[in-house]
């Protein structure tokens, strides 16, 4: 049964902070960095005003923020933090510790370009840089999805015992105000539930060693355990999303299919730019063109089999990355999509495209042009085997 809806107008950062207030985690260490700074700012004000009993820990760096979050989680607390860009890069060592120790931490990541040169605007280079750290990654198109993903994150994390990143695009959603449907506080608290684990790493009544030096005979088994948990997490993500859909009326899967039933030409994309792709799709559909969009929501674990199934019948695909992996071959998502199609013995043409780096605009007109290129078979690339959108060569 759907819960009562509270209609609001919030920025993406406010939406995330509202979900955090409703969840009321035990501990939140944080260090400010643009454009995620507002999230701990809001939470610290909630603490000061007595709206939550979260222990807010101001620390001296992002490395310390994740270290403190790991310590709190290891002690059996529901713990989380927030960061962006270089802050996530500074946490890199700790990200691996969190996943290898199987800690159910949640991180609100407001995606921002990495240096250099210094840039404070949106792209996915921070999240993509951490894609192999053993964290589940959820990406949002809108403020509504950012809020909803945060509401689901702890349920997923505490079930599979892996940390979760809740990602949204810096400034584009984090600071832009949109209409949003919130759930009542009580509904969110009941959905998320309490966290009182019987077993946790720093339980004095059941001492164990976790995270110290692993000799050759044990290291691979630790990594294999994380790999299995990541692979198995898809079922949990879908189950939690289904339950949340029954509560909120908003359905989520591993990705969203838009006009894909008979699509022959498709854009595959993540994050806020999916809206421009959908608008372009609507314009061309009105002209009778068989185009569609797949918006990836869950990037880790990568839904390879499911994407291949959704793309059956598609002749040409634009795989669009808001990050550069410098592989000399394609963007990071495009590379994984190509591997998924190859494994499924599917051979559509796939055009890898890099767009929106450092916050550069991508418009509906740009998306229309991409569809037109797909339909015309204009798939050639200059010098490197993938294409940049709106770049001065």
Q: Note the pLDDT tens digit of each residue in 193-207.
A: 999 998 898 898 998
**Average of pLDDT values for 282-289?**
98
- Give me the residue label for tokens 């740009």: 366
Residue 387 has pLDDT above 70, yes or no: yes
| pLDDT at site 186 | 97
| pLDDT at site 1 | 67
Q: Compute the distance between CA of residue 370 and CA of residue 167 in angstroms, rounded to an integer.
A: 25
**Average of pLDDT values for 266-281?**
98
Residue 14 has pLDDT above 70, yes or no: yes
Residue 116 has pLDDT above 90, yes or no: no
Q: Which of 272-286, 305-319, 378-392 has the lowest mean pLDDT?
A: 378-392
Name the superfamily (CATH) of residues 5-248. Answer: Thiamin diphosphate (ThDP)-binding fold, Pyr/PP domains (3.40.50.970)
| pLDDT at site 367 | 98
**Average of pLDDT values for 33-37?**
98
> Looking at domain 255-388, which of 3.20.20.80, 3.40.50.920, 1.20.1540.10, 3.40.30.10 is its CATH number?
3.40.50.920
Residue 346 has pLDDT above 80, yes or no: yes
**Average of pLDDT values for 130-159?**
98
**Average of pLDDT values for 104-131?**
97
| pLDDT at site 210 | 79
**Parallel/antiparallel/unpaired status of strands 55-58 and 265-270:** unpaired
Backbone angles phi, psi at 240, to 5 degrees: -65, -40
Residue 381 has pLDDT above 90, yes or no: no
**Average of pLDDT values for 44-48?**
98
Residue 281 has pLDDT above 90, yes or no: yes
| pLDDT at site 209 | 81
Topology match between the domains 5-248 and 255-388: yes
CA distance to 72, 186, 191, 307, 335, per residue, from 341 (Å): 41, 43, 36, 8, 10
Non-local (6+) Cβ contacts of 69 within 8 A are 27, 28, 29, 79, 80, 81, 98, 105, 107
Q: How many angstroms from the chain centroid is the CA of residue 355?
A: 18
What sections of the chain are H helices per DSSP? 12-23, 38-48, 62-74, 85-90, 92-100, 125-129, 143-160, 185-192, 216-248, 274-285, 304-310, 332-343, 364-376
Q: Compute the distance between CA of residue 166 and CA of residue 7 in angstroms, rounded to an integer.
A: 22
Q: Compute the distance between CA of residue 337 and CA of residue 307 in angstroms, rounded to an integer.
A: 8
| pLDDT at site 382 | 81
| pLDDT at site 29 | 98
Mean pLDDT (the chain) is 97
Domain ranges of the chain: 5-248, 255-388
User: CB atoms < 10 A from the CB of 345, how many?
Assistant: 7
What is the per-residue pLDDT across 225-265, written as a single tens digit (0 to 9) for each? Answer: 999 999 999 999 999 999 999 999 999 999 999 999 999 99
Percent above pLDDT 70 for the chain: 100
């Amino acid at each position: 049964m759907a819960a009562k809806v509270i209609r609001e107008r919030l920025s993406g950062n406010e939406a995330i902070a509202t979900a955090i207030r409703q969840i009321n985690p035990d501990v939140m260490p944080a260090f400010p960095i643009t454009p995620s700074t507002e999230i701990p700012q809001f939470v610290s004000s909630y603490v000061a005003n007595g709206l939550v009993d979260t222990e807010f820990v101001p620390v001296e760096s992002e490395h310390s923020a994740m270290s403190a979050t790991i310590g709190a989680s290891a002690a059996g607390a529901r713990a989380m933090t927030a960061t962006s860009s270089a802050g996530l890069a500074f946490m890199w060592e700790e990200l691996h510790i969190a996943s290898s120790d199987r800690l159910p931490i949640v991180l609100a990541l407001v995606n921002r370009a990495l240096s250099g040169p210094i840039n404070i605007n949106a792209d996915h280079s921070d999240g993509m840089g951490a894609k192999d750290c053993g964290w589940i990654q959820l990406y949002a198109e809108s403020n509504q999805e950012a809020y909803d993903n945060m509401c689901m994150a702890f349920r997923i994390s505490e079930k599979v015992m892996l940390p979760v990143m809740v990602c949204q695009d810096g400034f584009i959603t984090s600071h832009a105000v949109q209409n949003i449907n919130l759930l009542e506080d009580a509904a969110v608290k009941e959905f998320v539930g309490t966290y009182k684990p019987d077993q946790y790493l720093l339980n004095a009544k059941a001492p164990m060693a976790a995270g110290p030096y692993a000799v050759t005979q044990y290291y691979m088994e630790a990594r294999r355990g994380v790999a299995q948990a990541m692979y198995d997490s898809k079922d949990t993500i879908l189950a939690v999303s289904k339950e949340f859909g029954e509560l909120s009326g908003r359905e989520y899967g591993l990705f969203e299919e838009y006009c894909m039933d008979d699509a022959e030409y498709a854009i595959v994309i993540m994050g806020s730019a999916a809206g421009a792709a959908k608008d372009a799709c609507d314009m061309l559909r009105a002209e009778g063109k068989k185009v569609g969009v797949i918006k990836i929501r869950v990037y880790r674990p990568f839904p390879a089999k499911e994407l291949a199934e959704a793309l059956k019948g598609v002749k040409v695909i634009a795989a669009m990355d808001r990050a550069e992996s410098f592989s000399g071959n394609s963007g990071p998502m495009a590379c994984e999509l190509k591997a998924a199609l190859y494994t499924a013995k599917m051979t559509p043409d796939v055009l890898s495209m890099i767009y929106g780096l450092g916050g550069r605009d991508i418009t509906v007109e740009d998306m229309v042009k991409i569809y037109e290129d797909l339909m015309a078979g204009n798939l050639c690339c200059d010098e490197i085997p993938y294409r940049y959108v709106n770049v001065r060569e």
